[in-house]
């Protein structure tokens, strides 16, 4: 019998972490080896599987939540949905360990943090994405294609809505779509993005990529990219109905990643886009 692929999950007591536990434990050949959370979590020491509504047994033992990142080093792959500094601390803690791959859905890295991360992952398969949904990644490809063809006289706006508990804005997915739009125009997003508008802003500048953020209720994730001219408008959009779509994508990305050579990957690589 083949040995199971051992997963560690950082942010295991969060909504995404619990969805990933459910998705991973439903797959033969996978086991949850380590469940990680932050030091102030009220769930420290509790069974992560029970918190996620999964019964231990059938080859899956109880996995108590810990804040000791070094314990992730006993796993084959780490799935990370946490915060930028926690991701950096994780990469540092697993240096020289048995971990083959890290799958990170953490967003909100500033330029210095991203540079530090890029310099620390040379020996890992590091798969980073703002969204693990197949539909969103297909939307990203369509946005890049559309913006590459519709240039002069076409304005780009990215609109997103999430639940009221989301703490970062714009979302990682919105920024991912903005990056795709910028790539279609052969520009850097940082040079053309407009993240907010208030007061007397003046007329919209040609080439800007604007962002609008909505928060409320329990919305899992709605994203639209609007490409508008003086005479017509195209809207490319995606709505997620259940958080499991992201969890399933992250688990499938992990199963793909453990077979790859060290390098920096994203969901386009997984899907062959």
- Distance, in Å, from the CA atom of 136 to the CA atom of 153, rounded to the nearest integer, reads 26
CATH of the domain at 166: 3.30.360.10
Say whether both 255 and 148 belong to one domain: no
Percentage above 90 pLDDT, the chain = 84
With beta carbons less than 8 A apart as the criterion, state whether 247 and 16 touch. Answer: yes
224 labeled part of a ligand binding site: no
213 labeled part of a ligand binding site: no
What 3-state DSSP class applies to 24? helix
Query: How many separate domains does the chain show?
Result: 2
Say whether both 138 and 97 belong to one domain: no
CA dihedral angle for residue 225, residue 81, residue 75, residue 258, rounded to 10 degrees: 0
**For position 58, what pLDDT does the model report?**
55
110 labeled part of a ligand binding site: no
**For position 57, what pLDDT does the model report?**
61
- Distance, in Å, from the CA atom of 112 to the CA atom of 114, rounded to the nearest integer, reads 6
Residues 6 or more apart whose Cβ sits within 8 Å of residue 137: 129, 131, 267, 268, 271, 273
87 labeled part of a ligand binding site: no
Say whether both 111 and 159 belong to one domain: no
The yes-or-no verdict on residue 1 having pLDDT over 60 is: no
Lowest mean pLDDT among 134-138, 178-182, 210-214: 134-138
**For position 87, what pLDDT does the model report?**
94
- Distance, in Å, from the CA atom of 93 to the CA atom of 97, rounded to the nearest integer, reads 9
Helix (DSSP H) and strand (DSSP E) numbers for the chain: 9, 12
Say whether both 121 and 211 belong to one domain: no
Say whether both 251 and 230 belong to one domain: no
Residues 6 or more apart whose Cβ sits within 8 Å of residue 255: 5, 27, 30
Say whether both 73 and 154 belong to one domain: no
Q: Is the whole-model pTM more than 0.85?
A: no
CATH of the domain at 46: 3.40.50.720
151 labeled part of a ligand binding site: no
Say whether both 138 and 235 belong to one domain: yes
131 labeled part of a ligand binding site: yes
Name the residue range of residue 86's domain: 5-128+243-271
* Tens digit of each residue's pLDDT (9 = 90 or more) over 197-221: 999 999 999 999 999 999 999 999 9
Cα separations (Å) of 174 from 46, 51, 130, 139, 211?
34, 30, 8, 11, 8
183 class by beta-carbon count within 10 Å (0-12 exposed, 13-18 middle, 19+ buried): middle
Longest dimension (CA), the chain: 67
57 labeled part of a ligand binding site: no
129 labeled part of a ligand binding site: yes
**For position 61, what pLDDT does the model report?**
74
Lowest mean pLDDT among 86-90, 128-132, 175-179: 128-132
**For position 173, what pLDDT does the model report?**
92
Say whether both 106 and 139 belong to one domain: no
Mean per-residue pLDDT, 150-169: 95
Say whether both 234 and 248 belong to one domain: no
- Distance, in Å, from the CA atom of 158 to the CA atom of 171, rounded to the nearest integer, reads 11
Measured between its terminal Cα atoms, the distance across the chain in Å is 34
Say whether both 47 and 80 belong to one domain: yes
Say whether both 155 and 210 belong to one domain: yes
With beta carbons less than 8 A apart as the criterion, state whether 21 and 52 touch. Answer: yes
31 DSSP β-pair partners: 6
What 3-state DSSP class applies to 169? coil
**For position 243, what pLDDT does the model report?**
86
| Residue ranges in the chain assigned as alpha helix (H) | 15-25, 48-51, 84-93, 111-120, 134-149, 172-184, 189-192, 244-257, 267-271
* Tens digit of each residue's pLDDT (9 = 90 or more) over 47-98: 999 999 887 665 567 899 999 999 999 999 999 999 899 999 999 999 999 9
Q: Tell me the catalytic residues.
A: 162, 166
Say whether both 28 and 124 belong to one domain: yes
82 labeled part of a ligand binding site: no
């Amino acid at each position: 019998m083949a040995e199971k692929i051992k997963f560690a999950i950082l942010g295991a007591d969060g909504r995404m972490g619990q969805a990933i536990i459910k998705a991973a434990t439903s797959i033969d050949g996978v086991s949850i080896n380590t469940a990680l959370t932050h030091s102030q979590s009220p769930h420290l020491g509790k069974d992560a599987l029970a918190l996620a509504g999964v019964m231990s047994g059938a080859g899956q033992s109880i996995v108590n939540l810990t804040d000791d990142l070094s314990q992730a080093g006993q796993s084959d792959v780490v799935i990370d949905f946490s915060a930028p500094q926690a991701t950096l601390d994780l990469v540092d803690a697993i240096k020289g360990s048995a971990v083959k791959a890290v799958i990170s859905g953490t967003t909100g890295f500033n330029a210095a943090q991203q540079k530090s991360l890029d310099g620390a992952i040379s020996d890992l398969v590091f798969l980073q994405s703002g969204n693990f949904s197949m539909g969103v990644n297909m939307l990203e490809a369509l946005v890049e294609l559309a913006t590459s063809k519709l240039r002069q006289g076409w304005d780009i706006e990215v609109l997103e809505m999430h639940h009221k508990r989301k703490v970062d804005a714009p979302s990682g997915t919105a920024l991912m779509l903005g990056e795709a739009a910028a790539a279609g125009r052969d520009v850097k997003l940082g040079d053309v993005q407009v993240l907010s508008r208030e007061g007397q802003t003046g007329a919209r500048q040609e080439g800007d990529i604007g962002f609008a953020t909505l928060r409320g209720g329990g919305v899992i994730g709605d994203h639209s990219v609007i490409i508008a001219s003086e005479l017509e408008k195209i809207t490319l959009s995606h709505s997620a109905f259940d958080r499991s779509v992201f969890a399933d994508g992250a688990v499938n990305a992990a199963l793909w990643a453990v077979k790859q050579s060290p390098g920096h990957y994203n969901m386009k690589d997984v899907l062959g886009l």
